[in-house]
Chains A and B, each alone.
Chain A
Amino acid sequence: MEIDPFIFRLSIFILSIFVGYYVVWSVTPSLHTPLMSVTNAISSVIIVGAIIAALAGASESIFETSNIFGFLAIILAAINIFGGFLVTQRMLQMYKKKKK
């Protein structure tokens, strides 16, 4: 009997939760705010779905309802990607060690 691909994806999902659990516990508390902004940025990888949605269908009908939702999602995700990574970078730049 073949295994449903869904089970593979579920395995990846559950193992990633465990990876996330251990990785996040090792994050130093002083970087919890950058952690939130960077998780924000990476969860915008949802843009992948937005791009597929936007480009779906024939080229003469690129503004069907489903495409428009795709385009809107691209804008939202792009705000988040650029905003999230850049603001994280800005914050991390500020964390400095004592000058010896």
Chain B
Amino acid sequence: MSANLSAVFYLISGIFFILALRGLSSPETSRRGNYFGIAGMSISIIVTFLSVGNFGPGFIYVLIFLIIGGSIGAFIAFKIPMTAMPELVAGFHSLVGLAAVFVAVSAFLKPEAFGLGTLGNIKLASLIEMSLGAAIGAITFSGSIIAFLKLRGIMSGSPITFKGQHFINLILGLLIIFLIYYLCTSQSSNIFWSIVIISFLVGLLLIIPIGGADMPVVISMLNSYSGWAAAGIGFTLENTALIITGALVGSSGAILSYIMCKGMNRSFFNVILGGWGATDQATNSKSQDQKPVKNGNADDAAFLMKNASSVIIVPGYGMAVAQAQHALREMVDALKKNGVKVSYAIHPVAGRMPGHMNVLLAEANVPYDEVFELEEINNDFANCDVAYVIGANDVTNPVAKSDPQSPIYGMPVLDVEKSKSVLFVKRSLSPGYAGIDNDLFYRDNTLMLFADAKKMTEEIVKSL
């Protein structure tokens, strides 16, 4: 296949990828969008086979490895529980990153296969592109591995900070730039390997200080990085599909990070430099004790909700941990039978990744037109009888609106306190991730339900 013809096909698959993302603008078109994505991918792969034109024994091996990888991927995709989606996405990011590193390495070792010159005499532009692709890929890989371990609970989710870590990152970052420059003049493979290894290290150091509840930002950021790594490789291979995709994924991840940061009213750097709440915990713990709390049980909650005309449910990470989404859905069904109007309110950073709560509710067969975003529903709390907060905390804290001293001041929060009564399902009075006390616990219209989110919801279903 001629180079021009295959370039046209790569452009077409790039357009299909754009349509795949475009489809996600509404759930109805989203499935079609996914088929566009699959079509674009198939075109790319077939065109690559045809343009390489090598159907010898190597081709058989490629097919075998393709099938092996594909089966593993398909197996994971069917087996994975929806609650594990954040760590799955983190894991997948790491694979893209590592694949980018491998492709860059192989382009460096055999540049003639890619038309980039010969070993030790690679074109300058290609050398810069491939080392950038490899560096970003390596950072994506090791960063995603850490994110995966934290989300999976293998590694502690609390921020791990040590003195001078930002300084070390800065030095390592500068070192990578210097080494890329040095690589361009020396073409030495040792320098190339050093760049890869130092980038792995940067990825580790970058994500280790970031805590669990900041994971939505981290996951989006790594998503973005995997895109930039792909684009870097795309420039190396002079491949349009890869360049378009890299740009799409890169900007997609960047926008998601921005949305997540805005949902916490923090700057991107503030999140990346890590350690929220750690400094404020001491000052807030004093005022915490000796405040009266109204304590309720499942029967009280069932009674309140049964006699309400409208209920808004506010899910958070705790719901995902307790796997309470199905029980919640049963509760809502029972309430609806009693003529109660029920809707769901989702804060942008609820859960561990963008859209986490929406997927879980969809899994429990909650229709998506009952689920609302913060801006859509926030005014409705004033007219609602009961707000049922399940596994959320910081995102409901009214302190974000009233106390300029608070670390979460200015963060958009759900106006839960405006509803006539608030039911708060929580295991204890302990503060949330931000390390600050939630004022809501001590209000007159709040009833605390101290229990596991799933158990409590099931009990409420029973007494309804």
Residues of A within 8 A of B (CB): 5-6, 9, 12-14, 16-17, 19-21, 23-57, 59, 62, 64-67, 69-99
A87 — which chain B residues lie within 8 A by C-beta?
76-77, 80, 85, 88
Looking at chain B's contact residues, is the secondary structure mostly helix, strand, loop, or mixed?
Answer: helix
Q: Is B226 an interface residue (CB 8 A)?
A: yes
CA distance A49 to B111 in the complex (A): 12
Q: Is B355 an interface residue (CB 8 A)?
A: yes
Q: Is B373 an interface residue (CB 8 A)?
A: yes
B contact residues, total (Cβ < 8 Å): 116
* Interface CB pairs A-B, < 8 A, 17: A9-B235, A26-B22, A27-B25, A29-B358, A34-B359, A40-B96, A45-B13, A47-B99, A55-B59, A66-B109, A76-B95, A82-B77, A83-B92, A93-B31, A94-B82, A94-B365, A95-B368
CA distance A40 to B37 in the complex (A): 11
- B44 touches which one: A48, A55, A56 (CB < 8 A)? A48
CA distance A36 to B248 in the complex (A): 12
CA distance A84 to B193 in the complex (A): 30
Q: Is B245 an interface residue (CB 8 A)?
A: yes
Q: Which of B31, B238, B244 has the most CB of A within 10 A?
A: B244
Looking at chain A's contact residues, is the secondary structure mostly helix, strand, loop, or mixed?
Answer: helix
Q: Is B175 an interface residue (CB 8 A)?
A: no
Query: Is the Cβ of A42 less than 8 Å from the Cβ of B41?
Result: yes
- B252 touches which one: A39, A47, A51 (CB < 8 A)? A39
Known A45-B242, A80-B95: A20·B373 in contact at CB below 8 Å: no
- A31 touches which one: B14, B27, B348 (CB < 8 A)? B27
B20 — which chain A residues lie within 8 A by C-beta?
38, 42
CA distance A69 to B353 in the complex (A): 32
Query: Is the Cβ of B102 less than 8 Å from the Cβ of A70?
Result: yes
- A16 touches which one: B68, B96, B243, B365 (CB < 8 A)? B243
Q: Which of A27, A42, A56, A85 has the most CB of B within 10 A?
A: A42
B457 — which chain A residues lie within 8 A by C-beta?
none
B62 — which chain A residues lie within 8 A by C-beta?
51, 54-55, 71, 74
